Structure 1
Amino acid sequence: MNGVLLMVVAAAVLACGYLGYGRWLANKWGVDKEALTPAKRMKDGKSFSPVSAFTAFSHQFSSICGAGPVTGTIVAMAFGWLPVVLWVLVGGIFFGAVHDFGALYASMKNNGKSLAQLIEKYIGKTGRRLFLLFCWLFCIIVIAAFTDMVCKTFMFTPAVDASGAATGAIDFTKSYAAGCAGTISILFTFVAIAFGWAQKKFNLTGAAEFIT
Protein backbone atom coordinates (compact mmCIF):
# COMPACT_ATOMS: atom_id res chain seq x y z
CA MET A 1 0.00 0.00 0.00
CA ASN A 2 1.14 3.51 -0.77
CA GLY A 3 2.70 5.17 2.29
CA VAL A 4 0.83 8.47 1.90
CA LEU A 5 -2.51 6.68 1.48
CA LEU A 6 -1.78 4.58 4.57
CA MET A 7 -1.07 7.74 6.61
CA VAL A 8 -4.31 9.36 5.43
CA VAL A 9 -6.37 6.27 6.28
CA ALA A 10 -4.70 5.96 9.70
CA ALA A 11 -5.28 9.65 10.48
CA ALA A 12 -8.95 9.33 9.49
CA VAL A 13 -9.44 6.20 11.65
CA LEU A 14 -7.75 7.83 14.66
CA ALA A 15 -9.84 10.99 14.23
CA CYS A 16 -13.03 8.91 14.11
CA GLY A 17 -11.90 7.03 17.20
CA TYR A 18 -11.28 10.27 19.06
CA LEU A 19 -14.48 12.01 17.98
CA GLY A 20 -16.73 8.93 18.09
CA TYR A 21 -15.50 6.39 20.61
CA GLY A 22 -13.88 9.00 22.83
CA ARG A 23 -17.08 11.07 22.98
CA TRP A 24 -19.12 7.94 23.72
CA LEU A 25 -16.81 7.04 26.62
CA ALA A 26 -16.96 10.58 27.97
CA ASN A 27 -20.78 10.44 27.97
CA LYS A 28 -20.83 6.97 29.55
CA TRP A 29 -18.47 8.04 32.31
CA GLY A 30 -20.29 11.30 32.92
CA VAL A 31 -17.37 13.60 32.17
CA ASP A 32 -18.31 17.19 33.01
CA LYS A 33 -16.44 19.65 30.80
CA GLU A 34 -17.23 22.53 33.17
CA ALA A 35 -15.85 20.79 36.28
CA LEU A 36 -12.71 22.31 37.77
CA THR A 37 -9.64 20.11 37.66
CA PRO A 38 -7.55 19.50 40.81
CA ALA A 39 -4.90 21.82 39.35
CA LYS A 40 -7.39 24.70 39.56
CA ARG A 41 -9.28 23.66 42.70
CA MET A 42 -6.11 22.95 44.69
CA LYS A 43 -3.73 25.38 43.01
CA ASP A 44 -0.58 25.94 45.08
CA GLY A 45 2.00 26.69 42.39
CA LYS A 46 3.94 23.50 43.19
CA SER A 47 2.17 20.15 43.08
CA PHE A 48 -0.97 21.68 41.55
CA SER A 49 -0.52 24.28 38.82
CA PRO A 50 -2.84 24.81 35.81
CA VAL A 51 -1.36 24.59 32.33
CA SER A 52 -2.73 24.98 28.83
CA ALA A 53 -4.55 22.14 27.11
CA PHE A 54 -1.73 22.03 24.55
CA THR A 55 0.88 21.48 27.30
CA ALA A 56 -1.16 18.67 28.88
CA PHE A 57 -1.70 17.10 25.46
CA SER A 58 2.03 17.32 24.66
CA HIS A 59 2.98 15.49 27.85
CA GLN A 60 0.46 12.74 27.18
CA PHE A 61 1.37 12.49 23.51
CA SER A 62 5.08 12.12 24.26
CA SER A 63 4.36 9.49 26.91
CA ILE A 64 2.15 7.22 24.81
CA CYS A 65 4.25 7.61 21.64
CA GLY A 66 7.66 7.17 23.29
CA ALA A 67 8.20 3.51 22.38
CA GLY A 68 6.36 3.64 19.05
CA PRO A 69 9.35 4.43 16.79
CA VAL A 70 11.33 1.63 18.45
CA THR A 71 8.89 -1.23 18.94
CA GLY A 72 6.91 -0.41 15.81
CA THR A 73 9.99 -0.72 13.63
CA ILE A 74 11.02 -4.01 15.25
CA VAL A 75 7.53 -5.53 14.82
CA ALA A 76 7.40 -4.32 11.20
CA MET A 77 10.74 -5.95 10.38
CA ALA A 78 9.66 -9.21 12.01
CA PHE A 79 6.03 -9.51 10.87
CA GLY A 80 5.44 -6.87 8.18
CA TRP A 81 3.62 -3.55 8.15
CA LEU A 82 0.04 -4.83 8.61
CA PRO A 83 0.41 -5.99 12.25
CA VAL A 84 1.96 -2.64 13.13
CA VAL A 85 -0.89 -0.70 11.54
CA LEU A 86 -3.47 -2.85 13.33
CA TRP A 87 -1.54 -2.44 16.59
CA VAL A 88 -1.48 1.34 16.25
CA LEU A 89 -5.10 1.73 15.15
CA VAL A 90 -6.96 -1.02 17.04
CA GLY A 91 -4.62 -1.14 20.01
CA GLY A 92 -4.24 2.62 20.21
CA ILE A 93 -7.98 3.33 20.16
CA PHE A 94 -9.41 0.45 22.19
CA PHE A 95 -6.53 -0.23 24.58
CA GLY A 96 -3.93 2.52 24.91
CA ALA A 97 -6.27 5.50 24.64
CA VAL A 98 -8.93 3.96 26.90
CA HIS A 99 -6.32 3.06 29.51
CA ASP A 100 -4.82 6.56 29.58
CA PHE A 101 -8.19 8.29 29.45
CA GLY A 102 -9.51 6.15 32.29
CA ALA A 103 -6.40 6.59 34.42
CA LEU A 104 -6.33 10.36 33.96
CA TYR A 105 -10.06 10.75 34.61
CA ALA A 106 -9.90 8.57 37.73
CA SER A 107 -7.00 10.66 38.98
CA MET A 108 -8.86 13.90 38.28
CA LYS A 109 -11.92 12.64 40.15
CA ASN A 110 -9.74 11.81 43.16
CA ASN A 111 -7.84 15.08 43.62
CA GLY A 112 -4.95 14.14 41.35
CA LYS A 113 -4.00 10.92 43.14
CA SER A 114 -1.71 8.46 41.37
CA LEU A 115 -2.82 5.00 40.28
CA ALA A 116 -0.96 3.45 43.20
CA GLN A 117 -2.88 5.64 45.64
CA LEU A 118 -6.18 4.80 43.93
CA ILE A 119 -5.42 1.09 44.08
CA GLU A 120 -4.70 1.38 47.80
CA LYS A 121 -7.96 3.27 48.30
CA TYR A 122 -10.20 0.81 46.46
CA ILE A 123 -8.30 -2.50 46.69
CA GLY A 124 -5.92 -2.24 49.62
CA LYS A 125 -2.25 -1.95 50.55
CA THR A 126 -1.39 -5.36 49.08
CA GLY A 127 -2.73 -4.31 45.68
CA ARG A 128 -0.73 -1.09 45.88
CA ARG A 129 2.47 -2.98 46.70
CA LEU A 130 1.92 -5.44 43.84
CA PHE A 131 1.24 -2.57 41.42
CA LEU A 132 4.40 -0.71 42.46
CA LEU A 133 6.41 -3.94 42.19
CA PHE A 134 5.10 -4.44 38.65
CA CYS A 135 6.00 -0.84 37.75
CA TRP A 136 9.50 -1.31 39.18
CA LEU A 137 10.11 -4.54 37.25
CA PHE A 138 8.65 -3.07 34.06
CA CYS A 139 10.92 -0.01 34.33
CA ILE A 140 13.96 -2.27 34.78
CA ILE A 141 13.05 -4.22 31.62
CA VAL A 142 12.47 -1.03 29.61
CA ILE A 143 15.72 0.55 30.82
CA ALA A 144 17.67 -2.63 30.06
CA ALA A 145 16.20 -2.85 26.54
CA PHE A 146 16.88 0.79 25.73
CA THR A 147 20.38 0.61 27.22
CA ASP A 148 21.14 -2.35 24.98
CA MET A 149 19.85 -0.49 21.91
CA VAL A 150 21.74 2.68 22.83
CA CYS A 151 24.97 0.74 23.32
CA LYS A 152 24.61 -0.88 19.90
CA THR A 153 23.83 2.51 18.36
CA PHE A 154 26.97 4.11 19.80
CA MET A 155 29.29 1.20 18.96
CA PHE A 156 31.98 1.80 16.38
CA THR A 157 32.39 -0.49 13.37
CA PRO A 158 35.67 -2.40 13.27
CA ALA A 159 37.57 -2.38 10.00
CA VAL A 160 38.00 -5.64 8.12
CA ASP A 161 40.33 -6.71 5.38
CA ALA A 162 39.44 -8.28 2.03
CA SER A 163 38.97 -11.70 3.62
CA GLY A 164 36.55 -10.31 6.21
CA ALA A 165 38.94 -10.63 9.16
CA ALA A 166 39.13 -7.81 11.69
CA THR A 167 42.23 -5.66 11.37
CA GLY A 168 42.02 -4.08 14.83
CA ALA A 169 41.40 -0.64 13.37
CA ILE A 170 38.17 1.39 13.22
CA ASP A 171 36.17 1.93 10.06
CA PHE A 172 35.46 5.64 10.52
CA THR A 173 33.18 5.85 7.49
CA LYS A 174 30.80 3.19 8.78
CA SER A 175 31.11 4.49 12.36
CA TYR A 176 30.01 7.98 11.34
CA ALA A 177 26.33 7.35 12.25
CA ALA A 178 27.26 6.12 15.74
CA GLY A 179 29.38 9.22 16.28
CA CYS A 180 26.49 11.47 15.22
CA ALA A 181 24.09 9.66 17.58
CA GLY A 182 26.53 10.03 20.47
CA THR A 183 27.13 13.71 19.76
CA ILE A 184 23.41 14.49 19.57
CA SER A 185 22.79 12.66 22.84
CA ILE A 186 25.49 14.70 24.59
CA LEU A 187 24.09 17.94 23.16
CA PHE A 188 20.61 17.00 24.38
CA THR A 189 22.02 16.77 27.89
CA PHE A 190 23.39 20.30 27.77
CA VAL A 191 20.20 21.60 26.13
CA ALA A 192 18.18 20.14 29.00
CA ILE A 193 20.43 21.89 31.53
CA ALA A 194 20.15 25.19 29.65
CA PHE A 195 16.38 24.86 29.40
CA GLY A 196 16.08 24.17 33.13
CA TRP A 197 18.19 27.23 33.90
CA ALA A 198 16.13 29.44 31.56
CA GLN A 199 12.89 28.07 32.99
CA LYS A 200 13.94 29.05 36.50
CA LYS A 201 15.62 32.32 35.51
CA PHE A 202 12.72 33.71 33.47
CA ASN A 203 9.91 31.99 35.41
CA LEU A 204 8.64 30.09 32.38
CA THR A 205 6.67 27.68 34.55
CA GLY A 206 4.25 30.41 35.52
CA ALA A 207 3.64 31.52 31.97
CA ALA A 208 1.43 28.52 31.19
CA GLU A 209 -1.07 29.58 33.85
CA PHE A 210 -2.06 32.64 31.84
CA ILE A 211 -2.85 30.54 28.77
CA THR A 212 -5.78 28.75 30.39
Structure 2
Amino acid sequence: MRRYTLKNILVVVGIGALILVLAYFTHGKFLSEKVFELDDARVVPSVEIEDGVDYVPTDAKYLASQHFSAIAGTGPVTGPVIAGMTYGWFPTLLWILFGTIFIGCVHDMGALVASIRHKAAGIADTMRNYVSKRVWILFNLFIFFTLVMIIVAFTDITTSSFVNTIELADGKVVGGGAITTSSILYLILPVIMGLLLKYTKNSYCRTRVWTSSLCEDERLSSGLN
Protein backbone atom coordinates (compact mmCIF):
# COMPACT_ATOMS: atom_id res chain seq x y z
CA MET A 1 0.00 0.00 0.00
CA ARG A 2 2.81 2.38 0.90
CA ARG A 3 4.51 1.73 -2.44
CA TYR A 4 1.43 2.80 -4.39
CA THR A 5 1.02 5.85 -2.17
CA LEU A 6 4.60 6.88 -2.88
CA LYS A 7 4.03 6.29 -6.58
CA ASN A 8 0.96 8.53 -6.55
CA ILE A 9 2.90 11.25 -4.76
CA LEU A 10 5.71 11.07 -7.30
CA VAL A 11 3.21 11.32 -10.15
CA VAL A 12 1.67 14.46 -8.65
CA VAL A 13 5.11 15.98 -8.01
CA GLY A 14 6.20 15.12 -11.55
CA ILE A 15 3.13 16.72 -13.10
CA GLY A 16 3.60 19.81 -10.95
CA ALA A 17 7.26 20.07 -11.94
CA LEU A 18 6.35 19.68 -15.61
CA ILE A 19 3.78 22.48 -15.36
CA LEU A 20 6.33 24.78 -13.73
CA VAL A 21 8.96 23.99 -16.38
CA LEU A 22 6.48 24.67 -19.19
CA ALA A 23 5.46 27.92 -17.52
CA TYR A 24 9.11 28.94 -17.29
CA PHE A 25 9.64 28.56 -21.03
CA THR A 26 6.27 30.03 -22.06
CA HIS A 27 4.89 32.44 -19.49
CA GLY A 28 8.37 33.39 -18.32
CA LYS A 29 9.48 34.10 -21.87
CA PHE A 30 6.37 36.19 -22.47
CA LEU A 31 7.05 38.30 -19.38
CA SER A 32 10.72 38.71 -20.24
CA GLU A 33 10.27 39.68 -23.88
CA LYS A 34 6.84 41.28 -24.14
CA VAL A 35 6.09 42.75 -20.72
CA PHE A 36 9.41 43.75 -19.14
CA GLU A 37 11.47 43.79 -22.38
CA LEU A 38 14.63 42.51 -20.73
CA ASP A 39 17.87 43.33 -22.50
CA ASP A 40 21.22 41.70 -21.68
CA ALA A 41 22.99 44.82 -22.95
CA ARG A 42 21.40 46.98 -20.24
CA VAL A 43 23.90 47.83 -17.49
CA VAL A 44 22.73 46.76 -14.02
CA PRO A 45 23.28 48.88 -10.87
CA SER A 46 25.86 46.49 -9.40
CA VAL A 47 28.08 47.28 -12.39
CA GLU A 48 27.07 50.88 -13.03
CA ILE A 49 27.63 52.10 -9.45
CA GLU A 50 29.85 49.35 -8.07
CA ASP A 51 31.37 50.32 -4.72
CA GLY A 52 32.50 46.97 -3.33
CA VAL A 53 30.06 47.21 -0.42
CA ASP A 54 26.41 47.63 -1.37
CA TYR A 55 26.81 47.27 -5.13
CA VAL A 56 28.87 44.24 -6.11
CA PRO A 57 28.56 42.25 -9.36
CA THR A 58 27.51 38.74 -8.33
CA ASP A 59 27.27 35.46 -10.19
CA ALA A 60 23.72 34.55 -11.20
CA LYS A 61 23.73 31.25 -9.31
CA TYR A 62 24.25 33.03 -6.00
CA LEU A 63 21.54 35.56 -6.72
CA ALA A 64 19.10 32.86 -7.79
CA SER A 65 19.67 30.75 -4.69
CA GLN A 66 19.36 33.79 -2.42
CA HIS A 67 16.11 34.86 -4.03
CA PHE A 68 14.80 31.30 -3.92
CA SER A 69 15.41 31.13 -0.17
CA ALA A 70 13.93 34.57 0.50
CA ILE A 71 10.88 34.49 -1.76
CA ALA A 72 8.39 33.00 0.67
CA GLY A 73 6.23 35.28 2.81
CA THR A 74 3.39 34.53 5.18
CA GLY A 75 0.99 33.88 2.30
CA PRO A 76 3.05 31.22 0.48
CA VAL A 77 4.21 29.65 3.76
CA THR A 78 1.01 29.47 5.77
CA GLY A 79 -1.64 29.84 3.06
CA PRO A 80 -1.24 26.43 1.37
CA VAL A 81 -0.95 24.73 4.77
CA ILE A 82 -4.24 26.20 5.94
CA ALA A 83 -5.84 25.50 2.57
CA GLY A 84 -4.64 21.89 2.69
CA MET A 85 -6.10 21.40 6.15
CA THR A 86 -9.40 23.00 5.10
CA TYR A 87 -10.00 21.99 1.48
CA GLY A 88 -7.67 19.07 0.83
CA TRP A 89 -4.56 18.54 -1.25
CA PHE A 90 -5.92 19.29 -4.75
CA PRO A 91 -7.03 22.91 -4.20
CA THR A 92 -3.76 23.46 -2.39
CA LEU A 93 -1.81 22.07 -5.33
CA LEU A 94 -3.66 24.40 -7.69
CA TRP A 95 -2.95 27.28 -5.32
CA ILE A 96 0.77 26.56 -5.33
CA LEU A 97 1.14 25.94 -9.07
CA PHE A 98 -1.02 28.65 -10.58
CA GLY A 99 -0.40 31.10 -7.76
CA THR A 100 3.32 30.74 -8.39
CA ILE A 101 2.97 31.16 -12.15
CA PHE A 102 0.44 33.98 -12.42
CA ILE A 103 0.90 35.86 -9.14
CA GLY A 104 4.23 35.15 -7.46
CA CYS A 105 6.22 35.11 -10.68
CA VAL A 106 4.77 38.38 -11.99
CA HIS A 107 5.03 40.12 -8.62
CA ASP A 108 8.63 39.16 -7.87
CA MET A 109 9.90 39.60 -11.39
CA GLY A 110 8.21 42.98 -11.66
CA ALA A 111 9.68 44.15 -8.36
CA LEU A 112 13.18 43.02 -9.36
CA VAL A 113 13.04 44.65 -12.79
CA ALA A 114 11.69 47.89 -11.32
CA SER A 115 14.50 47.93 -8.78
CA ILE A 116 17.17 47.24 -11.39
CA ARG A 117 15.92 50.07 -13.59
CA HIS A 118 15.93 52.53 -10.68
CA LYS A 119 19.51 52.00 -9.44
CA ALA A 120 18.52 49.14 -7.09
CA ALA A 121 15.98 51.28 -5.21
CA GLY A 122 13.30 49.68 -3.08
CA ILE A 123 9.65 49.65 -4.10
CA ALA A 124 8.83 52.71 -1.95
CA ASP A 125 11.60 54.84 -3.46
CA THR A 126 10.69 53.63 -6.93
CA MET A 127 7.04 54.63 -6.51
CA ARG A 128 8.07 58.07 -5.31
CA ASN A 129 8.96 58.95 -8.89
CA TYR A 130 5.48 58.20 -10.21
CA VAL A 131 2.90 59.21 -7.59
CA SER A 132 2.01 62.28 -5.57
CA LYS A 133 3.44 62.87 -2.11
CA ARG A 134 0.13 62.01 -0.43
CA VAL A 135 -0.15 58.69 -2.26
CA TRP A 136 3.48 57.93 -1.49
CA ILE A 137 2.92 58.50 2.24
CA LEU A 138 -0.18 56.29 2.20
CA PHE A 139 1.77 53.58 0.40
CA ASN A 140 4.53 53.70 3.01
CA LEU A 141 1.92 53.39 5.77
CA PHE A 142 0.47 50.38 3.95
CA ILE A 143 3.94 48.80 3.78
CA PHE A 144 4.54 49.51 7.47
CA PHE A 145 1.32 47.93 8.72
CA THR A 146 1.69 45.00 6.32
CA LEU A 147 5.16 44.29 7.67
CA VAL A 148 3.83 44.51 11.23
CA MET A 149 1.22 41.85 10.42
CA ILE A 150 3.86 39.67 8.76
CA ILE A 151 6.16 39.93 11.78
CA VAL A 152 3.29 39.08 14.13
CA ALA A 153 2.26 36.08 12.02
CA PHE A 154 5.78 34.68 11.74
CA THR A 155 6.47 35.32 15.41
CA ASP A 156 3.32 33.45 16.40
CA ILE A 157 4.12 30.50 14.12
CA THR A 158 7.75 30.35 15.24
CA THR A 159 7.11 30.61 18.97
CA SER A 160 4.33 28.02 18.75
CA SER A 161 6.67 25.54 17.08
CA PHE A 162 9.40 26.25 19.66
CA VAL A 163 7.29 25.71 22.78
CA ASN A 164 4.80 23.10 21.60
CA THR A 165 5.31 19.44 20.77
CA ILE A 166 4.63 18.11 17.28
CA GLU A 167 3.45 14.60 16.48
CA LEU A 168 5.01 13.29 13.27
CA ALA A 169 3.35 10.96 10.78
CA ASP A 170 5.02 7.90 12.32
CA GLY A 171 3.67 8.77 15.77
CA LYS A 172 6.95 10.14 17.12
CA VAL A 173 6.63 13.28 19.21
CA VAL A 174 9.21 16.02 18.69
CA GLY A 175 9.70 18.72 21.30
CA GLY A 176 10.26 22.39 20.69
CA GLY A 177 13.92 22.12 21.69
CA ALA A 178 14.73 19.99 18.66
CA ILE A 179 13.01 22.44 16.34
CA THR A 180 14.85 25.35 17.96
CA THR A 181 18.21 23.64 17.49
CA SER A 182 17.52 22.95 13.83
CA SER A 183 16.35 26.53 13.28
CA ILE A 184 19.53 27.94 14.79
CA LEU A 185 21.61 25.66 12.58
CA TYR A 186 19.75 26.81 9.47
CA LEU A 187 20.65 30.39 10.40
CA ILE A 188 24.33 29.56 10.89
CA LEU A 189 24.79 27.41 7.78
CA PRO A 190 24.35 30.23 5.22
CA VAL A 191 27.18 32.12 6.93
CA ILE A 192 29.40 29.04 6.77
CA MET A 193 28.47 28.49 3.14
CA GLY A 194 29.29 32.09 2.25
CA LEU A 195 32.70 31.89 3.93
CA LEU A 196 33.49 28.62 2.15
CA LEU A 197 32.54 30.06 -1.21
CA LYS A 198 34.54 33.23 -0.64
CA TYR A 199 37.72 31.95 0.99
CA THR A 200 38.11 28.37 -0.29
CA LYS A 201 38.30 26.72 -3.68
CA ASN A 202 35.23 24.61 -3.06
CA SER A 203 32.83 24.77 -5.96
CA TYR A 204 29.28 25.97 -5.51
CA CYS A 205 27.84 22.46 -5.88
CA ARG A 206 30.28 20.85 -3.42
CA THR A 207 29.59 23.54 -0.86
CA ARG A 208 25.83 23.09 -1.20
CA VAL A 209 26.21 19.33 -0.78
CA TRP A 210 28.39 19.81 2.31
CA THR A 211 26.02 22.24 4.03
CA SER A 212 22.99 20.17 3.03
CA SER A 213 24.62 17.12 4.64
CA LEU A 214 25.04 19.05 7.88
CA CYS A 215 21.37 20.02 7.75
CA GLU A 216 20.33 16.41 7.25
CA ASP A 217 22.57 15.24 10.10
CA GLU A 218 21.01 17.85 12.36
CA ARG A 219 17.50 16.84 11.34
CA LEU A 220 18.24 13.20 12.12
CA SER A 221 19.87 13.97 15.46
CA SER A 222 16.93 16.21 16.41
CA GLY A 223 14.37 13.59 15.49
CA LEU A 224 13.00 15.53 12.50
CA ASN A 225 13.25 12.62 10.08
Question: TM above 0.5, one fold?
Answer: yes
- Worse-matched range after superposition: 142-151 or 98-107: 142-151
Counterpart amino acid of residue 105 in structure 1:
V
Aligned match of 1:108: 116
Larger Rg belongs to: 1
Counterpart amino acid of residue 131 in structure 1:
F
Shift of the alpha carbon at 1:47? 1.8
Q: 1:21 aligned to 2:27?
A: yes
Q: 1:4 aligned to 2:2?
A: no
- Worse-matched range after superposition: 101-110 or 146-155: 146-155
2:198 to 181, 204, 209: 204
Percent identical pairs in the alignment equals 31
Q: Classify 1:3/1:102 alpha carbon distance in 2 versus 1 (closer, same or farther; 3 Å).
A: same
Higher RCO, 1 or 2 (CA under 8 Å, sep at least 6)?
Answer: 1
Distance 2:191 2:60 in 1: 25
- Worse-matched range after superposition: 5-14 or 140-149: 140-149
User: Where do residues 16-165 of structure 1 align in structure 2 (5 Å cutoff)?
Assistant: 16-28=22-34, 29-65=36-72, 67=74, 68-155=76-163
Shift of the alpha carbon at 1:34? 2.6
Distance 2:177 2:121 in 1: 43
Shift of the alpha carbon at 1:193? 10
Q: Classify 1:181/1:19 alpha carbon distance in 2 versus 1 (closer, same or farther; 3 Å).
A: same
Distance 1:203 1:150 in 2: 30
Q: Please list the CA deviations of residues 113-157 of structure 1 after superposition, one character each: whole Å capped at 9, or x if unmatched.
A: 211111110113223222222222112112212222222222256
Distance 2:99 2:183 in 1: 31
Q: In the alignment, is the contact (CA less than 8 A) between 1:119 and 1:127 conserved in 2?
A: no
TM-score by length of 1: 0.76
Q: Please list the CA deviations of residues 23-73 of structure 1 after superposition, one character each: whole Å capped at 9, or x if unmatched.
A: 112111321123221111111112211111111111221122354454322
Aligned match of 1:178: 176
Distance 2:12 2:48 in 1: 43
- Worse-matched range after superposition: 147-156 or 94-103: 147-156
Q: Which runs of 5+ in 2 are unaligned?
A: 166-171, 202-225
Q: In the alignment, is the contact (CA less than 8 A) between 2:163 and 2:175 conserved in 1?
A: no
